[in-house]
Amino acid sequence: MDALEVLTHDHRMVEQLFRDYHAAASDKQRRAVVELLVRELSKHAALEELMIYPLAKRVLDDGAQEVDEHLSEHMALKKTLLALDRLPEGDERTDDLVARLRRDVEEHVREEEGELMPRIRAAVPEEDLAELGQLLEKAKPSAPTRPHPHAPDHPPALTLAGPVAAAYDRLRDRLQGRPRT
């Protein structure tokens, strides 16, 4: 898959997780889905910020402005993810936060798939997108698994902070018995 197909696949997976959340039969199952949402959206956002947004800045005429808008959306998502991550199983606030997250993710996906991705596809050769897709797939296992709203979201600071955050996240995941990726 090329880079944009990888991101689109991630979007479909997250949409399925929202459906799984609503189909869950217990607080324990809902909490497990929340943990997957936190992990997958955190990884996805970090990789977009590290690999896709810098590309968009370089190849799109208004790339810096476009990326700033997406980074602003990411910040809101990260704050919601952090709030969800801190809630205990069965907390009454979970449904409202998941609903807010779903609305924000749906809007973000519409903008990315409807506007940003077609513009990137038109500006970047297919071979480059294919190579970037391979790099994204290789980077996923080492991406941060938790939201870090106070961490840098622009390279080069992101390039330095990302691996440290990812290592810390994986240690926390192991200590808390969360699934490994």
pLDDT 10s digits, 134-174: 999 999 988 888 887 666 555 554 554 555 555 545 555 66
Q: State the Cα–Cα distance between residues 141 and 64, nearest whole angstrom.
A: 28
Q: What's the sign of the alpha-carbon dihedral 164, 12, 99, 114?
A: positive
For residue 148, the model assigns a pLDDT of 75
Domain membership flag for residue 180: no
The model carries a pTM of 0.84
Q: Which residue has the tokens 């996240």?
A: 169
d(CA 59, CA 85): 35
Average pLDDT over the chain reads 88
pLDDT at 172: 58
Q: Output 101 or 179, whichever has higher pLDDT.
A: 101
Longest dimension (CA), the chain: 49
pLDDT of residue 163: 57
Contact 81, 42 (CB under 8 A): yes
What's the pLDDT band for 26 if we cut at 50, 70, 90? very high
Tell me how many degrees the CA angle 35-36-42 measures, rounded to the nearest 5.
Answer: 90
Sequence-ordered strand ranges (E) for 55-138? none
115-126 pLDDT tens trace: 999 999 999 999
In a domain, 52, yes or no: yes
**Residue 148 main-chain phi, psi, to 5 deg:** -135, 75
User: Per the domain annotation, does 18 fall within a domain?
Assistant: yes
Task: Tell the residue number behind the tokens 């973000």, with chain if given.
Answer: 108
Going by the DSSP 8-state scheme, the letter that residue 50 receives in this structure is I
Which domain range does residue 155 map to? 3-175
Is residue 181 in a domain?
no
Can you give the pLDDT at residue 181? 57
Q: How many domains does the chain have?
A: 1
pLDDT at 152: 54
